[in-house]
Amino acid sequence: MWLWYFWIYSFLGYLLEKVFAKVTHAAQQGRKCFLLLPLCPVYGLGMLAVLALPPVCQEGLWLILWGGLAATAVEYAVHWAYDTVLHVRFWDYSRVWGNLHGRVCLPFTAAWGVLTALAVRWVQPGVEALAARVPGEVTCLCLLVFTADALMSARLLWVTGDVELLRADMG
């Protein structure tokens, strides 16, 4: 089930990126993610971290605080890994107030807190029900496709260092 949570929230993150780019009239309308598939793994990993929080951290306003901090910690770690291992940057908050090395910033920490609280309360029950219905064979097939995409994307970035190759709009 956790694998499906990761994929579903990675896809929802991809959609959120598209909506955010349109609403803010961003110059770069393409995706800001690692995979060729319409998935942004940082969102999936962030939600896994939030869902793994102890129950006491998932109550009331604590969920906003701890959800924002957990998602921000994941965002920092993923940015650091992309930068260190693949020598690429998919986002840069260096011009945003309250940033830490351009990897994370306070305004987005607050946004992640609210978004993760909403997701845990209103989205997760549907995600849980959906993930529970997926046959094992489908999970295995999706895992093969996901793994192939991750390996190809990593290789492409390792060789070229060009994130723009992954930003092309696939549809």
141-160 average pLDDT score: 94
Asked whether 116 and 68 are in contact (CB, 8 A), the reply is yes
Asked whether 4 and 28 are in contact (CB, 8 A), the reply is no
pLDDT at 170 over 60: no
Please give the mean pLDDT across all residues of the chain: 92
Helices 2-23 and 41-51, axial angle in degrees (round to 10): 120
pLDDT at 171 over 50: no
Model confidence at 163, in pLDDT bands (50, 70, 90)?
Answer: confident
Tens of pLDDT, residue by residue over 43-101, are 999 999 999 999 999 999 999 999 999 999 999 999 999 999 989 998 999 999 999 99
Whole-number Cα distances in Å, 129 to 12, 33, 40, 87, 133: 16, 27, 22, 38, 7
pTM for this structure?
Answer: 0.93
